[in-house]
Amino acid sequence: MAGGAMLLNNIPIQALARQGVLQQLAATSSNDNVLVIIQLHGGNDGLNTIIPIDQYAQYLNMRPNIAIPDHGGRRFIDLDNTLASAYQVGLHPDMSGLKTLYDQGRVNIIQSVGYQNINQSHFRSRDIWFMGGDYDETLDSGWMGRYLENIYPNYPDAYPSQEMPDPLGLEIGSSVSLAFHRSNGIPTGIAVDNPEQFYNLINSVGGEPPAEVANTYYGHELQWILDIEKKSDQYAGRLKDVYEKGRNSSEVSYPEKYPFNAPAKAVKNGIGAQLRMIARLLSGGSKTRIFLARIGGFDTHAAQVESYDATMGTHASLLYHLSSSLRAFQDDLKSLGLEDKVLTMTMSEFGRRPASNGSWGTDHGTAAPMIVVGKHVNPGVIGKNPDLANLDHHNLSVQHDYRQVFGAIVQDWFQGDAQILEETRFSDYVKGENKIPLIRDYTLGSPADQFVSDRFALYDCVPNPAHGLVQFSYKINAYLKVDLSVYDLQGRHIQTIVQDDQHPGSHQQTLDVSSWKKGTYICILKAGSFRDQKKLIVV
């Protein structure tokens, strides 16, 4: 593949100005919403990421040497006890950042995503996801790229423009994926079946770019290289200006290293710096519509976990990097006033087998969960836990086609019309029972408030005013550390009512305040990321 790779803050980025969903959206969409895709390269182990609580015994039996425990200090994190039993899941213990976002109503998890007859080749499967096609198709375009040829036939000559000064897509890395290729022309990736002939053609050109190139296949390829190099040069200055103009919140820290034991190559955070850069570009005024970031290392055939502790090791560090960076990114966007316009999602080319191998790892599998984060997702879990008792040739069955997820984003987040859905080949996946409720109409405001109040609450003290016994009541949605304390109006701690790990559900505590001084007090509940307070008057 080839393209105009640039370094921004020492991170290589690829300008996808020639392709993408992005360009169509610029012309046809009534919003300026942004999509950030994080590719978990290598095939993420979904069962150690999102743990099926209702089938925990079966899960433990299938992978006894790598299973995440349901007890102890490094037990899995209960996600949400208010869900029905078949939807009950746990998070890997290093994914507390995602739990925080979930409790804020910012996360949707889609179970068992894939496609029919999943190809377990990393590159072929990734291309299938990017092209928006079936397992037995070979398309020369990606679902994002098919926007361009329909909406922007005059690109690249008319761009950048005053209305769209930025690359419409940015891929972080040194090459452009199939996702951004377009059909009916030279794509943004290059396939060469005669490397020597192509090499000779490239090396025959020296000094200034030629005024004309040969009217041959390789001549067309060379012209594309010259065009994209020219376009990359045009965008380089704009990207630099936007980056320097932008900022990140001083209140947000992106994690840089895994804090526990892991192989040296897995300690450094591979995704945080990418998300921090995206937030800064958006803060600086970038109008880019789709960003594609990538974190590798998920091909965990061996040493997925540490032999002495299944909760630590390579996979644990990757999930920590992902989860903590997602939280930092969302907090950054919120602080910068950008949370309304950005949706972030994860994808991986395939999952891994339910049964572990003898090398403390997992082999290539099929379906896996996807995680979508944003203010306007419908928070919760879509789909039941994968059925571990009924496997498909030793693998998980697919509940949701990946095109249902992308289709919902194109239709509901980007507000793509019927023609756009046809061009992306997603129209059949957003109809009837295929439609998944991933995005709420963003014009209606955030669905998070009701979501949070259904799961967490600190109720009024009873009676109030009081002079004797007072009842304190609250509810939580998972097994959490709870702190319920009372303070005076000067912020001085008066008494701790509860400070303990508690099971999900409703709780009540009674306290005698007859010996307290008359006055006004503040009762504060802390449970995970939830915070609330109520006033108590003692008479």
**Tens digits of per-residue pLDDT, 40-93?**
999 999 999 999 999 999 999 999 999 999 999 999 999 999 999 999 999 999
Q: Give the model's pLDDT for residue 442.
A: 63
pTM score above 0.75: yes
Q: Give the model's pLDDT for residue 3.
A: 45
Q: Give the model's pLDDT for residue 205.
A: 42
**Distance from C-alpha of 218 to C-alpha of 136, rounded to nearest angstrom:** 28
Q: Cβ–Cβ contacts within 10 Å for residue 493, how many? A: 10
Q: What does the block give as tokens for 269?
A: 């955070």
**Distance from C-alpha of 181 to C-alpha of 510, rounded to nearest angstrom:** 64
- Tell how many helices (H) and how many strands (E) occur in the chain: 14, 20
**Distance from C-alpha of 95 to C-alpha of 49, rounded to nearest angstrom:** 8
Could you read off the pLDDT tens digit of each residue along the chain, which spans 539 residues? 344 456 666 677 766 544 333 444 444 444 688 999 999 999 999 999 999 999 999 999 999 999 999 999 999 999 999 999 999 999 999 999 999 999 999 999 999 999 999 999 999 999 999 999 999 998 888 887 776 556 555 655 677 778 778 777 778 876 667 776 766 543 332 222 232 333 344 344 444 555 566 677 556 656 655 565 555 666 777 788 888 899 999 999 999 999 998 888 889 998 999 999 999 999 999 988 888 899 999 999 999 999 999 999 999 999 999 999 999 999 999 999 999 999 999 999 999 999 999 999 999 999 999 999 999 999 999 999 999 999 999 999 999 999 999 999 999 998 888 988 998 899 999 999 999 999 987 666 666 788 999 999 999 999 999 999 999 999 999 989 999 999 999 999 999 999 999 999 999 999 999 999 999 999 999 998 899 999 999 99
Q: What does the block give as tokens for 27?
A: 């012309």
Q: Give the model's pLDDT for residue 161.
A: 78
Residue 250 burial by Cβ neighbours in a 10 Å radius (0-12, 13-18, 19+) = exposed
Length, in residues, of the chain:
539
**Domains of the chain, start order:** 5-188+235-450 (3.40.720), 456-538 (2.60.40.2550)
Q: Give the model's pLDDT for residue 223.
A: 62
Q: What angle do CA 247, 251, 256 make, to 5 degrees?
A: 80
**Tens digits of per-residue pLDDT, 359-380?**
999 999 999 999 999 999 999 9
**Distance from C-alpha of 371 to C-alpha of 530, rounded to nearest angstrom:** 21
Q: Give the model's pLDDT for residue 145.
A: 73
**DSSP code of 279?**
H
Amino acid at 265: K
Are 142 and 410 a contacting pair, CB within 8 Å? no
Q: Give the model's pLDDT for residue 206.
A: 47
**Distance from C-alpha of 79 to C-alpha of 108, rounded to nearest angstrom:** 11
Amino acid at 35: L
**Distance from C-alpha of 189 to C-alpha of 178, rounded to nearest angstrom:** 7
**Tens digits of per-residue pLDDT, 309-321?**
999 999 999 999 9
